[in-house]
Every structure is written in structure tokens, then in C-alpha cells.
Structure 1
Amino acid sequence: MPRGPVRDIDEVRGDVIAAAERLIVERGVRALRLRDVLALSGVSNGQLYGAFASLDEAILSVNAKTLGRLEERLQRGAVEDDPADRLVAFARLYLRFALEETPLWRALFEFESQEESALDAQLRGDQARLFEYPGASLAALYPDLGETEVLLRARTLFSAVHGIVSISLESRYSGVNAERLEEELTGLVAAAIRGYGA
């Protein structure tokens, strides 16, 4: 028996993504279940699989939205004239985004699709763009490094910032508030800049 009015594929996709996003926020990506997405979105099993190859693909679509918001935040914040200040701003903005959107930020990096798909490969490629934010500033600071060295150091710096943020969100920095974490990230970036310049 049909469930409600007929919906076109774009509407179904939007409803499924919205439901999956809300459930990830409420419960985390690991607790996401197909039946809950169907119940919340009001779509049938057949409608969902007419719009997505799998539930994994719907989750990847949520992750793509999250990545878009993260990149928008980083772009808006990259207004400092000095490249060293831009690196500090990047680290602080990254922390703030992770604190404000923790479940969705976690899903972006923790979710692994059970099947390889074009969307999965595209999202991994899109995530690699995050290295460009510290990379552009490092290239401006050290124009003689060369593209390969800049990319390597950008990956290292991003990984260090990401690691500190990840650990902080797992409550391993007990008693350390967001402002103190920002200070620690600022110190990390400053130390990296000094080290790269040595």
C-alpha cells in the first residue's frame, strides 16, 4: 500500500538525507539504522532504494553536506593577511566546527562505506581538499619549499590539528576547555611554523 503522496526522487533524497542527518546528530553514525531512517523520513524501503544504492550512500551524502559546511566555514575564516595568522585561524575554526557539529564531524571521518562507490571515491577526494587550507599558507610562508614538500607539511599539520581535536572530543583532555584547546592549537601551529623555517 502506498505511503502518502507520490514524491519525486529529489524529494525522497532530501527527506532521507534530512532524516539520516538528524539521527546522526541524535545518536551518532554507528547507531544509524535503516528502519529508523525510513520511519523518520516517511519514505518506503522501495523509495529509498530508488533514490540511493544503499543506506551507506545516503550517509555519504550527509557527509558531503557536512564537508561543504566545514569548507565554507574555513573559507569565511581565511581573511587574515598574514599566512601565519591564517594557519592559526584554520586550526581554531576547525576546532570550533568540530565542537559545534561533533556527531556530523565524527561521521565525516569515522564512517566507512561497506561498498566502494563513485560517491565514496569522490568524497575521499573532496576531503583531501582540506589539506589545501594549511597548504596555501605554508606555500606563502615558504615559497622555496616546492609543491611536494608543501603538500607533505600541510598533511602533517592538518593531521596534528585533527588529532588534537579528535582526542579532545573523546574527553581525553579532561578539564581542558575550548579556549585552552585553542591556545594549545595556536602553540602547535607556531611551533610548526618555526620548525618548517629552520
Structure 2
Amino acid sequence: MALIKSALELALEKTKDLTLDNAALEANKAKTEGRKTGGAFLASPEDTDIDAAIKAANPEHREIFRKAIFEVLVAQIQLPSGIFDPDKFKILGKGLGSLAGMGNDKKVVSMVRNISNFVAKYLEEVKRVEQTIRTQWAPKLKEKERQLAARMGQDVRLDPMSDPEFSAYYKQNFENLRATYSQALEGAKVDLASLCGFEVEA
């Protein structure tokens, strides 16, 4: 007659040959600490010394620590949906420059400055495209307003964004513009990774 084993006994049997992978645990700890350091730098750049934190990191997992900081900082480089903060890019340039180290730090700071200008240009382009679309659409919108006014017997003013045809046209143009700029921005991030000494992931 077979013995009925408890769930605990079965679990112990299945896990008896498992050993903790200390190297993996330490690597994961370094990654977590790197992310915390990156977050602390973004929250208070004057009080967070990235260079000192890198030197204090476990030499065996220092690159993992550095890469985690890089990922936190570079994730902040995005196309804005409205407000543009050039000071944020100055902080990012300083932090990424520290990660690049002597030799590439000035190149990184310069590249982040160029990215900041690029993002500002994107917002200007968004305004220009929006104005162009509204101007192109004005005659068609006025005709729709005229037709509605004739049916209703009173003046009608339409919000262009409430018009499905205009909205679809606007969205298509805006998405094309954003896709073009996003692609260029992703390329710049790859270049930053390379300058900071990380394996380039296209």
C-alpha cells in the first residue's frame, strides 16, 4: 500500500536539490540599487553623487549597477505631450555624463543638449502642423456650419475636433509626425548607450 505524502513532504522533495544562486541574487540587488540611485538623482541631483555611488558599488556587479542607473535616466528622454522642461535635460546630461566617465562625458552632455533642442523643435512642429491642418480644413468646416445653419435656422459653430473626418485626418498627421521624431529619438538613445559604454541594442 502506497504511503500518502503530505503536501509539505512533496514540496520538500521537489526543492531538495535547489540551491540559491547567490550570484544572481547579488546581480539583482545591484540592479535594484542602481535603479534607486537613478531615482534619487532625478529627485535630488544636488544630493546624489553618481560617481561616488558607482565607486562604492560591488566591483563584480558594477556594470549592472551602472546600466540600471542609465535605464532610469534614459527612460526620461521622451517626446512630451505638452509641457517641455529644458532644465530636466540639463539634469539628465549631468547624470549621463557621470555614467560615461572621463573622455565621453562632454560628448554625452552635448548630445543631451542636442536632444533637448530636438524635443523643443518637435513641439514647435506640432503647433505648426496643427495650425496648417486647421487652415486647410477651415473652408470645409465653414461649409458644414453653413449647411447646419440652413437646416436649423440659426448660426452654428463647430469645434473641428468634434468632426470625425477632421479628427481622423488630424490624428493621422500627428501620429506620422510623432513616429518620425520617435524613431530619431530612439536612435539618439542607442548612441547615448554606446557613449556610456553599454552594449548597443537597436
Structure with the greater relative contact order (CA < 8 A, sep ≥ 6): 1 or 2? 1
Q: Same fold (TM over 0.5)?
A: no
Question: TM-score normalized by structure 1?
Answer: 0.34
TM-score (norm 2): 0.33
